[in-house]
Amino acid sequence: MLLSIYPISFTVCLVALISWFYFKNNATLSKICGIGFFGGLATYLLSIYLADAETSYKLMIVARDLAIIGGVGYFFGMIAKNKLVFFAFLALLYGALQYKFTDVLKNTFVEKITCEFPVGGNKDANSVELLVELKPNSGVESLKDLADGYGLQLKTAFSPKDGAITDLDDYITVDIPESELAATENIIFLLQRHPSVEWVEQNDVYQLDVMETIPQKRAPRDLKKFGLNDPNLKDLWGFQEMHVDALYSYLKKNKIKPKKKARIYILDTGVDSQHEDLKDNYNSFNRQYDNDPMGHGTHCAGIAAAVSNNGIGVASFSQNNEFVEVTSIKVLSARGGGTQQRILKGIIKAADNGADVISMSLGGRTGDKGQKAYQEAIEYANKKGAIVIAAAGNSNDNAKFYSPANAPGAITVSALDSDLNRAVFSNYIHEVDYGIAAPGVNIYSSIPGNKYASFNGTSMATPYVAGLVGLMKSIRPDLTTKQVHDILKKTGDKTGNTKETGPFIQPAKAVKAVVEMNKGIRLKRLLGSSLLLPTTPNIN
């Protein structure tokens, strides 16, 4: 709030002084303008006093601002008699304020990031404290004096293949040595004020949640309707509620064929590439990612792309296994911990290597008010043709406070229980850009060593959406994030509290909408027409 008072009070002073000169011959208006000027000036000086900055810096800003206010006011007082000239220069002043100076005012006193790392505490071995975006053409050497003064280690953070379409290659990491952790907030402030720096944010450290299993209340009643021989269909209550049998029926009856095999990247703890129910749908990206000491990534991969109709384990939305394949990038440790930078590198790596869908069942509450790096990484992935899916989080809280769930451009997934209510742990998603819901309680899937288990979490709901989006992208590869979300939203079912969860995905309806798009039917007409399916699972 304080940061917005400063530029507003400055503008009030400037406008009131100009008006005062203009109306100097009108006693009433002149008095009102004078009161406005001195009121604005008092508020301005209070905002300067309360600003979090060194006294010398405050005095420099006051001298600058008063010189501008006084000089501009005097100039307009000189030309006040010539209305045409007066208003011409007033228009020029307005344009200058809008084009440049407003941003200067907003950035004069930047808000400090509060560092949440405990002084002298343990950090992830791969972590650095900060991610810093440099302004164009500003190299690391521009921060040499600051780095030498505090013993900071500066390194390039990201190396996207297509640097021309992103600013990610302008990011560096700033590692603050343990001896200087007490000075972290001052270092952040100096970085924010540095002329070479565009943006500063924490390199957050995340840890996967361990969720206890909650007993399910529903299971598929008629396994034969799915037309599959996977024995653990009986454990997939979500298949019943998502009407997956209708999806299979629609694909088979209409002889739907993929235009490509969509690749889903699981950014997690790794994936057991040799699992009996995954290996035939698994395409290795890098052998070091083809194991999973924790099991979390393998569980997510099974939800998104388990081999269907192979007589073992579970199944996925791809009934005949022609539509999607899955691969892995390790961004979390064997214990489920990882840094923001490592996750961002995973997004970039997946985008640079042909990802159609990037699934992230990870994240945590962020200490920053905004995280620009996630937004830029997702924009980069979108430009490269990938759609990013992120878990809402398991804290029964607002997802807007959790990253990457709150990142603009990500499809954020909440978890439902078997009664189709928001799971008791699931964050709610009504304040993020693109929110959607999927089953997330007692979800049965693969774990390493040809085993299976039930887990809970938005982590489990996320790969359901990723698997469906992969199916949609295989049929229409050029789908954008907005198009996908619009389809999922319009074709989704209501939940017990849809505002908090978003609509519940209905794969058959969503795929039918994509097929109809390919037939040339306008999406707007489609989404409002009888071509969309009713709530019944029967599809013709």
Separation CA 99–CA 89 (nearest Å): 15
DSSP strand E in 41-169: where?
A: 130-134, 153-156
Q: Where are the alpha helices (DSSP H) in 170-295?
A: 184-193, 237-241, 244-253
Of the residues 243, 275, 296, 485, only one is catalytic, namely 296
C-alpha 318/C-alpha 325 separation (Å) is 9
Q: Name the 3-class secondary structure at 206.
A: strand
Helix (H, G, I), strand (E, B) or coil at 522: coil
Confidence (pLDDT) at 484:
98
Catalytic residue flag (residue 445): no
Largest CA distance in the chain: 92
Q: Which DSSP category does 100 fall into?
A: I
pLDDT at 299 > cutoff 80: yes
Q: Is the pLDDT of residue 503 over 80?
A: yes
Per-residue model confidence (pLDDT) at position 7: 83
pLDDT at 119: 28
Above 90 in pLDDT, residue 413? yes
Class of domain 130-203: alpha beta
194 is catalytic: no
CATH number listed for the domain at residues 235-505: 3.40.50.200
100-114, 269-283, 313-327: segment of lowest average pLDDT: 100-114
Q: What is the 3-state secondary structure (H, E, C) of 323-372?
A: CEEEEEEECCCCCCEEEHHHHHHHHHHHHHCCCCEEEECCCEECCCCCCH
517-533: pLDDT as tens digits: 988 754 455 455 434 44
Convert the pLDDT of each residue in 43-63 to its tens digit. Answer: 989 888 887 666 766 888 888
| Count of Cβ atoms closer than 10 Å to residue 362 Cβ | 31
- Residue 296 annotated to the active site: yes
Choose, from 170, 204, 268, 272, the residue flagged as catalytic: 268
Considering 9, 414, 459, 474, which one is annotated as catalytic?
Answer: 459
Q: pLDDT, tens digit, for every residue of 376-409?
A: 999 999 999 999 999 999 999 999 999 999 999 9
| pLDDT at res. 38 | 92
Question: What pLDDT does 78 receive?
Answer: 86
SS3 content of the chain, % helix, strand, coil (to 5): 45, 15, 40
pLDDT band at 14 (very low <50, low <70, confident <90, very high): confident
Q: How many Cβ atoms sit within 10 Å of the Cβ of residue 389?
A: 32
For the stretch 417-432, pLDDT in tens is 999 999 999 999 999 9
